[in-house]
Amino acid sequence: MKRLVHFKDLPFKRPLLATISRSWQWAIEKQSFSVLYLKSTELDAFQQIVTGHRRRFLQSLRYTIILPEYSLEACTQFEREADRQINNVAFTTAIYKLFQILHSWGSKSDSGSPYSIRIQIQDIYSPTDYRHRVLKSGASIEYVGAAEAGDGETAHPRDLQGYRYKYSSLHLYQAKNLPVVPAIRHFITNPRGCPRMMDPESAIQIAAKSTKLRWFWLNLHDWIIRYPALRRSNRDAFVQALESLQLPTSIQQIIVSMLPTPLQNQSWHPTHLAHTILGYDLLSSALRKTTVDLPHLIVLRIDGIIDPSLFWPSIPETVIQPFWQHLQCLDITFDLTTPSGEWYFKGDGSANTYPPPLASSPASETQMPPGYGFSVEEDFVAALRFNSIEDNSQSGRYDNIFRTVVNEQLLIPLIEAFAKACIQVPTLETAFLMTSLRQPVEFRGKLHDYPTRWGIYYSAPGQYHDHRSIPNLSYPASSAWQRTLTYEVREWRLSEDLCSLLRCIGQGAHKKEPIERYIDRWASTERQEVMEELAQEYGE
C-alpha cells in the first residue's frame, strides 16, 4: 500500500536514502512523488520542487483550497454577497494558479510518455471555519440554539458554526480564460464531508479544460430543502452549464452524485423542481443529452432526484437516434422524491407510522436564505433567531417513516424508460435502477427504521456481481451463460408487460432467454438481523 505523503513533508522524508546513488534517488522519488497532498498556499514550493523527471512520477494530487480568514464576530453572521465574492476570488486564484503550473508542463513528460494525473479536491475551508477551530481546540460540536436574553437584557449572537456558510457555494470567475491542461486524466470534486463546495457550473468548466479527461466524478449538494427557491436556482445553473459547455470526448466514466440528505419526514410535500410547462425535469434531460454523444463513455453512474427523461425523451420525437452505444455499466440510484414534487413510494395504509412531525413543508416557496438579498439588519435578526433544531424541522429531518409501497403511477414509467434506454445499448454488461427504503420496525412498543435496498438489476452473461458490492447478492451458476434480471422489490410484482420489456435488455447480443428471479433480503435475512441487534441493545 502506498504511503500518502503531504507535500510540505517531502523535504524531510528519506533524504539520506535518496543520496546513495542516482538509481536510489529515482526509486525514492518515484514513491514519494506518486501521491501528494497539496495546499493552495504551497503552490510556489510545488512549482519549484516538482520539476523534470519528478513530474512523470506524479499520479495523484489531493488538492486543498484555503480560503481567507474572517473575524470571530463574523462567526455570528450568515455569509453575504461580499463574503462570497471574497471566497470566490480566493477559490479562482487557487484553481488558476494550479492550472497554470500544470499547463506549463505540456502533455508529455521528459521521457516522451503522456502525463496521467488524478486531481481530487480534497477540501475547501477557511482556518476560521468552525470545524477547523474545533479540530484545533479538541472541543465537541454542539447544536446552535437561539440567542437568549433575560429581562431587560440585549440578546447576544451565538456562533453559527457551519450554518454560517451552509447556503453558499464557490464560483469560478472568468472560466473561459482557464488554461487547458491535457495532463489531467481524473478529476474529482467536492468530497463528502466537505461543507464548502464549488457550484456545478465551475466543476463542469474545470472538466471542460481538462481536454484528455477520462474519469469525472462530480459531487453536489442538492439538499437545501428549507429554501426551494435557492435549490431551483442551483439546479437551473447546473442545467445551463451542461447545455452550454462541452465535456471532453475522451471521458470514459462519469459519476454524478447529487443525492440530498434523505427526507426523513415522509409526510412532507417535496419541492417541485421540474419545468412547470414542459412537465419534465430539465436536469434529468440535460444529463442524458450531455452524455449521449460521448464516444468513449463506458460507465455512467448518477445518484439523485430524477425522472424518466434521464433515460428517454419525454416529448415524443419522430426519430430517436441510438445513444450510449459504448456504455457497459449504467448505475442509477434515485431518490424517493420526484422532481415534480411527489413520492415514488407511498404508505401501506396502516396506522403504524411515526407521530406527525413539527413541520410538513417549507415556510415559503420563494423565500431565499439569509444573506441573499436581505438587509444587514434582517440578517442580524435571522442569526439571532436561528436554531439548528428548528432548522432540522424546517428541512424535513424529523423521522416520520412509512413509505414502503410502490406508487405504480410514478415508478412504472421510470422503469419503462430505464428499460427502453438499456435495450438500445448493444454493449451493456450491467444496469442497476435502485433506491434506499427505510423500513419501520416495531420493537417493545417503539418504532425504529433501517435502510434497505430496493432495485432492479440486469447483468449480462458472466457478470456475477454488482460493481458496488451489494452484500449477499449471489448469482446462480447458470448466469455464466445467461442474462440475469433480479427484482429486489419486496412484495410488489411486476406486470407481464413490464417483465417482457425488461427481458429485451441485452437480447440483441445474447439470444438465450434471461434468468428472472425475485429476491427479498429484508424478509429472508435482514429483518432477523435487525431484531437480534435490537434485542442485544435492550439486553434481551
What pTM did the predictor assign? 0.89
Q: Which three cell numbers stand for residue 48?
A: 519549484
Banded model confidence at residue 20, pLDDT cuts 50, 70, 90: very low
Q: How far apart are CA 483 and CA 479, in angstroms?
A: 6
DSSP string computed for 106-167: -SB-TTSPBP-EEEEEEEEE-TTSHHHHHHHHTPPP---PPP---TTPPP-----GGGGGTT
> Out of 15-24, 196-205, 477-486, which region has the weakest mean confidence (pLDDT)?
15-24
Q: Which three cell numbers stand for residue 21?
A: 546513488
Q: How far apart are CA 98 and CA 75, in angstroms?
A: 30
What does the pLDDT read at residue 1? 39
Select the more confidently predicted residue: 488 or 268. 488
Contact 218, 198 (CB under 8 A): no
Residues in the chain: 540
What does the pLDDT read at residue 472? 60
Percent of the chain scoring above 70 in pLDDT: 83
329-379: per-residue pLDDT in tens? Answer: 999 999 999 999 999 999 887 655 555 554 455 557 788 999 998 889 999
Q: How far is CA 75 from the centre of its chain?
A: 27
Q: How far apart are CA 205 and CA 212, in angstroms?
A: 14
The secondary element (H helix, E strand) that includes residue 286 is: helix 282-291
Q: Which of 190, 193, 130, 134 is nearest to 164 (CA)?
A: 130
DSSP string computed for 231-268: HHHHHHHHHHHHHH----TT--EEEEE-PPSP--BTTS
Mean pLDDT of 454-482: 74
What does the pLDDT read at residue 17? 44
Tell whether the model's pLDDT for residue 100 goes beyond 90.
yes
155-196: per-residue pLDDT in tens? Answer: 677 889 889 998 999 999 999 999 999 999 999 987 666 888
Q: Which of 175, 207, 154, 166 is nearest to 88 (CA)?
A: 175
Contact 77, 157 (CB under 8 A): yes
What does the pLDDT read at residue 8? 54
302-322: per-residue pLDDT in tens? Answer: 999 999 999 999 876 555 789
Q: State the helix-helix crossing angle for 282-291 and 228-244, rounded to 10 degrees.
A: 20
The DSSP call for residue 351 is: S
Residue found by looking up cell 478529476 in the block: 187
Backbone angles phi, psi at 274, to 5 degrees: -75, 165
Tell whether the model's pLDDT for residue 126 goes beyond 60.
yes
What does the pLDDT read at residue 468? 54
421-453: per-residue pLDDT in tens? Answer: 999 999 999 999 999 998 888 777 777 788 889
What does the pLDDT read at residue 12? 45
Parallel, antiparallel or unpaired: strands 446-459 and 484-488: antiparallel
What does the pLDDT read at residue 119? 94
Mean pLDDT of all residues belonging to the chain: 84
Contact 159, 129 (CB under 8 A): no
Question: 61 in helix, strand or coil?
Answer: strand
Amino acid, single-letter form, for residue 493: R
Banded model confidence at residue 3, pLDDT cuts 50, 70, 90: very low
Mean pLDDT of 70-97: 95
What does the pLDDT read at residue 10? 52
Q: How far apart are CA 306 and CA 430, in angstroms?
A: 20
Banded model confidence at residue 530, pLDDT cuts 50, 70, 90: confident
Banded model confidence at residue 487, pLDDT cuts 50, 70, 90: very high
What does the pLDDT read at residue 399? 79
Residue found by looking up cell 452550454 in the block: 244
Q: How far apart are CA 461 and CA 315, in angstroms?
A: 34
What does the pLDDT read at residue 358? 47
What does the pLDDT read at residue 159? 87
Q: How far is CA 98 from the centre of its chain?
A: 24
What does the pLDDT read at residue 172? 95
Tell whether the model's pLDDT for residue 23 goes beyond 90.
no
> Out of 117-121, 358-362, 410-414, 455-459, which region has the weakest mean confidence (pLDDT)?
358-362
Please give the C-alpha separations between residue 102 and each of 6, 14, 67, in angstroms, as whole numbers: 19, 26, 21
Contact 161, 141 (CB under 8 A): yes
Q: How far from each other are the two terminal CA atoms of the chain, in whole angstroms?
A: 43
Banded model confidence at residue 138, pLDDT cuts 50, 70, 90: low
389, 390, 392, 396: CA torsion to nearest 10: 140
Highest mean pLDDT among 25-29, 88-92, 312-316, 388-392: 88-92
Question: 228 in helix, strand or coil?
Answer: helix
Contact 458, 485 (CB under 8 A): yes
Q: How far apart are CA 311 and CA 242, in angstroms?
A: 16
User: Which residues 6+ apart lie within 8 Å of 292 measured at CB?
Assistant: 323, 324
Question: 318 in helix, strand or coil?
Answer: coil
User: Which residues 6+ apart lie within 8 Å of 310 measured at CB?
Assistant: 281, 284, 285, 287, 288, 302, 332, 417
The DSSP call for residue 2 is: P
